[in-house]
Chains A and B, each alone.
Chain A
Amino acid sequence: MEWLAALTAGGLAGIGMWLLLDRNLIRVVLGVAILGNAINLGVLASGRFAGSEAAFVTATTVPSDPANALPQALVLTAIVIGFGLFAFALAVLKSVRESHGVTTTDRVTEITEEPAPDIEEVGLQIHQDDADHHHDAEEVRQ
């Protein structure tokens, strides 16, 4: 069983890395999600797949062949956290797309490298510069 998990995790990690290296931000975020799942599987396999019963001890019964419960607990935690972070990354992606239409990694870097706007954006203003918005929207059409 371990070899199957290892191969699957390796394959998923490969797909994840491949997507991460893409210029399209949507693919990058998906890549993070897939890589995350590959690693979750790896963590689960780190406890080996010995044992066929849930490691659930009650007052009367003790499982005779319990599975390793620790990696299960770890992976459950990691899945929950990973899900939350993935949702946040998607939300940011959506806002980036709405605010300037383009979702390529190069464009995002370019915008980050722009000279700092005057005090309006140093502070906490939330209004967008409409001129910029149209400019980017035109770029999409081209």
Chain B
Amino acid sequence: MKALAVAPVFIPLITLLIGIMLRPYHQQVKVVSLVGAALLTLVGIRLVALANADVVLAVQLGGWEAPYGITVIIDRLSAAMVAITGIIGLAAALYGLVREGNPDVLRNFHIFLHGLLAGVCGAFITGDVFNLYVWFEVLLIGSFALIALGGGRRRLSGTMTYVVLNLLATLVFLLSAGLIYSSTGTLNMGELGLIFRAGEAPPAATLAVVMMLVSFAIKAALFPVFGWLPASYHVAWTPVSALFAGLLTKVGVYAMIRIVTLVWPEYGQAHEVLLWVACATMLVGVLGAAAQNEVRRILSFHIVSQVGYMILGLALASPLAIAGAVFYLIHHIVVKANLFFIGGIAARMTGSERLAAMGGLYAKAPWLAILFAIPALSLAGIPPLSGFWAKFVLVKASLADGFWWAAGVALLTGIFTLLSMSKIWNETFLKAHPQGEKAIRIDDEMRWGWWAISGLAAMTVLIGIGAGPVMEYAIAAAGQLADPVVYFQAITHPGGR
């Protein structure tokens, strides 16, 4: 059990090490990378199965008992996030089998990918505030290496923006972790939750938690601190963009959900602020997207807008709303990463990712059009796809609590999202290619990418059709978040069970 609990971190780390050692052997590195990502997915699925059977893995690392040692806790939310991380990692590794550009750079992609996955999984399974900071840094250094991959002036400039603003956010997080320790004397999330729930938190601790939420808000790209995301995501190589779009902002969202549900389980002032922030994020993101005319830039702004939905669920704080946020998180990671992958394939076929220079794909590659339509319609919330259920639950929860205006913003954002998606659809698929049909390149090189996007699209459809079980899982996860017995047990009964 102990090995299984730390496997989500150790599998990518070991894969990373093997990848570094096998550096000169490009093919072997790719195989190792695929195997590592597949193993991570399997471990994630096993964790989900365990969590679904109400087993919560809690392990104390380093031979120290909680709250002094480092706690690893995997509840339903963490297990689902690890599984999804594995799936997106696998899709990125598959897409990365393409041969283009410099082979050394391609090989490095497969190595750094696992550094990123280790950081992301570590952030999902840790139960310690400082440890969370360390995993944030691990995923940051992985993402730095990935975003700069391939070089080029535009990419390096985007990297610079990304590096500086993310470093700043992480520094704020470090400071807030120090302040939390200085005001409460603990870094263990469970103990922190107990102190806050008992109403024993000093004002300085509340301030420190708010500061921490600000740094998570930068990571999650919430209004008004989202500027770095659309300024940098579109410069990276396609599978890197897709990985970032799927996972990175969602680590911030996950951390917010984790901390807010632990320390403030009831609707309060902080939730009210979050509610306004969520609505502003949804609207600003989707309006920003309307002004863009490149595939990945449009999609980048939609990440911002979609994160708003998850925070809306968190802000409402009712069990249904939290369940909606968890469902949205699961659905969104799959859909968003897939749209970036498809955008990359479309760009490769048409020779550009500027909408004006694309076109003609509906005639030449109808399957790609269908594969695009699935996540695009899901993102906008068209039934019976996964996005519809996610939005339905959130709107229902808003109305149930009397926040009709928040429900209105959510629905309006859905309409604008549909407009944006139809813009990509018209320009990329329906319109004739400006240089004629012959300009469209169809080659066999993307076959692995096709597997990745088909698999993710199938998942979107499955989550849509099988929304019942997924929603039940999300509701149970929300129940665990509202009443985190295990988090508290991990302190009183060290050693886990």
| Interface residue? B217 (CB, 8 A) | no
Decide: A132 near B153, CB < 8 A? Known: A20-B168, A85-B137, A125-B102. yes
> A107-124, CB under 8 A of B: which get 1 and which 0?
011011111111101111
CA distance A20 to B161 in the complex (A): 12
Distance of A118 Cα from B141 Cα, bound (Å): 29
Q: Are B175 and A112 in contact (CB under 8 A)?
A: no
Q: Does residue B151 face the partner (Cβ distance < 8 Å to A)?
A: yes
Residues of A within 8 A of B167 (CB): 32, 36, 85, 89
Residue ID in chain B nearest A35 by CB atoms: B171
A66 at interface by CB-CB < 8 Å? no
B 180-194 binary contact with A (CB < 8 Å = 1; else 0):
011000000000000
Interface residues on A, range: 35 or more
CB distance from B136 to the nearest CB of A (A): 10
Contacts A42-B175, A85-B137 given; indicate if A92 touches B160 (C-beta within 8 A): yes
Q: Which of A42, A70, A95, A109 contacts B161 (CB 8 A)?
A: A109
B106 partner residues in chain A, CB cutoff 8 A: 124
User: Which residues of chain A are near B163, meaning CB under 8 Å?
Assistant: 85, 88-89, 92
What A residues does B156 contact at CB under 8 A?
92, 95-96, 99
Question: A132 contacts which chain B residues (CB < 8 A)?
Answer: 153
Task: Give which listed residue, A29, A39, A112, A126, contacts B158 with CB less than 8 A.
Answer: A112
B207-237 contacts to A, CB under 8 A, are: 231-232, 234-235, 237
**B100 in the interface (beta carbon within 8 A):** yes
- Report B-chain residues with C-beta under 8 Å of the C-beta of A29: 164
Chain A residues 48-101 with CB under 8 Å of chain B are 48, 70-71, 74, 77-78, 81, 84-85, 88-89, 92-93, 95-96, 99-100
- Known interface pairs A39-B178, A71-B181, A128-B153. Does A108 touch B105 (Cβ–Cβ under 8 Å)? no
Residues of A close to B178: CB separation below 8 A: 39, 42-43, 46, 71, 74
Q: Which residue of B lies closest to A13 (CB)?
A: B175
Check B105 against A124 for contact (C-beta < 8 Å): yes
Contact yes or no, A124 B149, CB < 8 A: yes
Which listed residue, B101, B152, B158, B171, touches A36 by the CB 8 Å rule?
B171
Which one of A46, A118, A129 contacts B352 once the chains associate, using CB atoms below 8 Å? Answer: A118
Contact status A25-B160, CB under 8 Å = yes
Closest to A111 in B: B157
If A118-B357, A126-B102 touch, does A39 touch B154 (CB 8 Å cutoff)? no
Cβ B237 vs Cβ A123 within 8 A? yes
Q: Given A77-B134, A88-B144, A122-B353, is A43 in contact with B177 using a C-beta cutoff of 8 Å?
A: yes
Q: Report B's interface with A, CB cutoff 8 A.
A: 100-102, 105-106, 130, 133-134, 137, 140-141, 144-145, 148-161, 163-164, 167-168, 171, 174-175, 177-179, 181-182, 231-232, 234-235, 237-238, 294, 296, 344, 347-348, 351-354, 357
The 8 nearest A-B residue pairs measured at CB: A124-B101, A46-B182, A43-B178, A124-B150, A46-B178, A111-B157, A108-B157, A123-B100
